[in-house]
Chain A
Amino acid sequence: MWEAIKHRETGQIRSNSFANRFKSRRILSLQLSNRKDFVSPHRGSVNSLQVDLTEGRYLLSGASDGSAAVFDVQRATEYEASGLIAKHKCIFTVDKQHENGHKYAITSAIWYPIDTGLFVTGSYDHYVKVWDTNTSQAVVDFKMPGKVYRTAMSSLAMSHTLIAAGTEDVQVRLCDIASGAFSHTLSGHRDGVMSVEWSTSSEWILYTGGCDGAIRFWDIRRAGCFRVLDQSLTQLGVRPPILKQKAVSIKNFLVQVSAAKSSLGGQNRLKTLQSKNTGSQIVKGSSSAKASVEKSRQKRLHPGMLSTLDRATAHYGVVTGLKATNNGMYLLSAGSDSRIRLWDIESGRNTLLNFETGRIQTNKAIQLDTSDDPALVFVPCMKTVKACDMWSGRATLMLRGHFESVNSCCFNSSDQELYTSGADRQILVWSPGGSVEGEMMQDEVAEDKDNWSD
């Protein structure tokens, strides 16, 4: 360790790599923390965890008994065992006894990305509520047409404060806090939407995963989704030869539109959906395939609605979790076919990475998390949490500690700690093993071996 400091001083190691070296060593030694504990007030399985994005200090959790709680991650409320074990009790909780509390399970609790003054919860009682943290009051309510499975807000948003809510209804609704109304309705999925995730590279792009197994990319400035991920389109090499694929996709488009002519004559659902879409609907950057297709079809199909004909699936089951990597280039998706897939966002292709995860929970949404350096994915697999390497798919760490199935993982990159929660109502902390003094002493102990005397 001292060697490393000396090298950094003399400029042999760059300061970034110096810091990263320590961080990766700490992350690879994650184990159940014996110094920190969260006292969970929840009486039901904890479904969602999120550390706030501004300071990384407050942890928000939402549980199946309709309660949401906030914990301070850095400062403990009391100490046990003469100061060795830090107990973190919740700062406050909103539950069914609260006058405006949710009546059924809370499936998703997220912080307002700009500061910790607000948080948003989505629940099976069809409501999405926005709460004021300081007064513990529900400020705005949005009523959804079905049970809310997931809510998400964009951490990059500069010009909008939209909450994306995925429900058991086929449409994804975007709720605007500023106006208190729905601003967008995104249609295209054929079954409920179980996971929503905003892009980490653009404030306008939303990824949704549905119970029909499809993952769709939406640009909220225009109508319809601009991409549907297909698990059979793979990335052979780095980039596939473009010409071959374009021929296939043009053929697909022509076939699909002739299908539209014959089979969609009687449906008036598309027309009602079109009327709900707001904003100007000019399809930007349409490929030449689309242009020729528009001329040949007889039934007038809105250009944004062409994607409803695309029935490609990303998983052979429900898409239970989505996570975009922090560099905005890749998307991880977990499905109820017990597969985790890594997608290249730019080309929309399956990178065919096979993560050794074993069985994954199939009936509930799960929350994955990633760490940047080393690139690991934390996946809840039944009762264990597996940390798999993102580029080879091998399971590096297996964290066993929960008594029941794990629902969500949240990685705190500033402290290199992992928080996981599950059906056993616990929130567990996994921190790097070994004390700081131990790290400093490593080199010295090795040298002093011969220095002994009776």
Chain B
Amino acid sequence: MKRKTNPESSASGAKKRRREEEDEEVGCSHAGIEDETISEDQCRLLQDDLTFSDTSVALRMMRAQLPRIDQASVPPFILQSQLYSSVNDRTQVDRELECLRREKVVRVFKLNTGQDDHAIIFLDDYLKQVDRIVKRMEEKKQNDLDIFKWFKEHVLDSKLEPSIGHHELFSLLSLGGKVKDAHITLLINAGLLTRQLVDPDMYWFTIPSIGKLWKGLLQGRNELLSMLKRKRHKEMFLAELEKKRLRYSPLDMRFHIRDLIGSGHLKTVQTTSGLIVRISRD
């Protein structure tokens, strides 16, 4: 199985992949979801195709394809709209995602873009990220780092939703020890929690250092849509589109295409010369 996935990765545009990711993916796929073995054979054929049969397969494939950005400070995330574009049945995606969330395999975060965007990260990646933050803070000689341990043990374990109320956060953290407001400020500074203007009492879990990518996501979407709108018939071949590079976004072109297809702004049409991507009129 390693042999099969290797040539695909090098063929898919020289995206850098960490060694561990590859091993992990292979290891996980042996973990025993029975659809995996059947769809692995299909994977080779579906690599350039857009749809998968199972949500977890889709998640792992997309995570593997996400290019490594130099900072390496953001764990690989997948948007929910990308999942919708990769699996045929949206309801199935929602339900399987719910199962995965309950089993604590993935964690869902709400992104503050104004639209209904959710980012999905594997829990192991997220925990590794939290550890990295703790280590960085230790180097800066910050005190009171126990709060992160309590956060990991008590809050992340029991609260699976993307948001948490102020008092619940306090009570869950207090299960570890005495909590002060300064501790919560520390968590916010580290980028793990944030508040949104809508509701002053709710904290939202966030992906640390997501800022640059978030901005890139919004600008990239606009750029891609305007690129297509400028064309005479508002459409373009998928193969041609994938070769282009976006100026304002560090994220991959494929990332944006999948995201926009999933949220309904673009649609793909099969023609005799290949797939065409078109702006969908409502």
Instruction: Name A residues whose Cβ lies closer than 8 Å to a Cβ of B.
Output: 232, 234, 236, 252, 255-256, 258-259, 311, 316, 337-339, 352-354, 356, 358-359, 381-384, 392-393
Is B24 an interface position by the 8 A CB rule? no
Q: Is there contact, CB below 8 Å, between B102 and A316?
A: no
What B residues does A232 contact at CB under 8 A? 161
Q: Is there contact, CB below 8 Å, between A256 and B199?
A: no
Interface string of B256-282 (1 = CB under 8 A from A): 000000001000000000000000101
Known interface pairs A358-B282, A359-B264; A236-B167 also in contact (CB < 8 Å): no
Interface of A is mostly: loop
The CB with the most chain B CB atoms within 10 A, among A236, A352, A384, is that of A352
Known interface pairs A256-B167, A356-B90, A382-B282; A236-B102 also in contact (CB < 8 Å): yes
Known interface pairs A236-B102, A359-B264, A359-B282; A354-B94 also in contact (CB < 8 Å): yes
Is B91 an interface position by the 8 A CB rule? yes
What A residues does B84 contact at CB under 8 A? 354
Closest to A383 in B: B282
Q: Is there contact, CB below 8 Å, between A381 and B282?
A: yes
Q: Out of A259, A352, A358, which one reaches B91, CB within 8 Å? A: A352
Q: Is there contact, CB below 8 Å, between A236 and B91?
A: no
Is B89 an interface position by the 8 A CB rule? yes
Q: Is there contact, CB below 8 Å, between A236 and B168?
A: no
Number of B residues near A (Cβ < 8 Å) is: 24
Q: Is there contact, CB below 8 Å, between B167 and A352?
A: no
Q: Is there contact, CB below 8 Å, between A316 and B91?
A: no
Q: Is there contact, CB below 8 Å, between B90 and A236?
A: no
What A residues does B23 contact at CB under 8 A? none
What A residues does B280 contact at CB under 8 A? 358
What A residues does B110 contact at CB under 8 A? 316
A281 to B90, CA, bound (A): 44
Q: Is there contact, CB below 8 Å, between B98 and A234?
A: yes
7 shortest interchain CB distances as A-B pairs = A354-B90, A358-B264, A259-B167, A352-B94, A232-B161, A337-B116, A382-B282
Q: Is there contact, CB below 8 Å, between B99 and A236?
A: yes
Q: Is there contact, CB below 8 Å, between B168 and A252?
A: yes
What A residues does B165 contact at CB under 8 A? 255, 259, 311
Instruction: Name B residues whose Cβ lies closer than 8 Å to a Cβ of A.
Output: 84, 89-91, 93-95, 98-99, 102, 110, 115-116, 161, 165, 167-168, 171, 199, 201-202, 264, 280, 282
Q: Is there contact, CB below 8 Å, between B168 and A255?
A: yes
A1 to B268, CA, bound (A): 39
A279 to B90, CA, bound (A): 46
A384 to B281, CA, bound (A): 10
Known interface pairs A236-B99, A392-B89; A255-B282 also in contact (CB < 8 Å): no
A–B complex contacts, Cβ < 8 Å, 11 sampled: A255-B171, A311-B165, A311-B199, A311-B201, A338-B115, A352-B94, A354-B90, A356-B90, A359-B282, A382-B282, A384-B282
A174 to B182, CA, bound (A): 47
Q: Is there contact, CB below 8 Å, between B98 and A338?
A: no
Q: Is there contact, CB below 8 Å, between B116 and A338?
A: yes
What B residues does A384 contact at CB under 8 A? 282
Q: Give chain B nearest CB distance to A145 CB in angstroms.
A: 24
What B residues does A352 contact at CB under 8 A? 91, 94-95, 98
Closest to A359 in B: B282
A339 to B264, CA, bound (A): 13
Q: Give chain A nearest CB distance to B184 CB in angstroms.
A: 16
Q: Give chain A nearest CB distance to B102 CB in angstroms.
A: 7
What A residues does B171 contact at CB under 8 A? 255, 258
Q: Give chain B nearest CB distance to A236 CB in angstroms.
A: 6
A239 to B202, CA, bound (A): 29
A236 to B102, CA, bound (A): 10
What A residues does B115 contact at CB under 8 A? 337-338
A393 to B202, CA, bound (A): 31
Q: Give chain A nearest CB distance to B127 CB in angstroms.
A: 21
Q: Is there contact, CB below 8 Å, between A393 and B90?
A: yes
Q: Give chain B nearest CB distance to A250 CB in angstroms.
A: 13
A400 to B220, CA, bound (A): 31
Q: Is there contact, CB below 8 Å, between B168 and A353?
A: no
Closest to A315 in B: B116
Q: Is there contact, CB below 8 Å, between A354 and B282?
A: no
A72 to B181, CA, bound (A): 66
What A residues does B116 contact at CB under 8 A? 316, 337-339
What B residues does A316 contact at CB under 8 A? 110, 116
What B residues does A311 contact at CB under 8 A? 165, 199, 201-202
Q: Give chain B nearest CB distance to A72 CB in angstroms.
A: 33
A255 to B168, CA, bound (A): 6
A311 to B84, CA, bound (A): 29
A258 to B98, CA, bound (A): 30
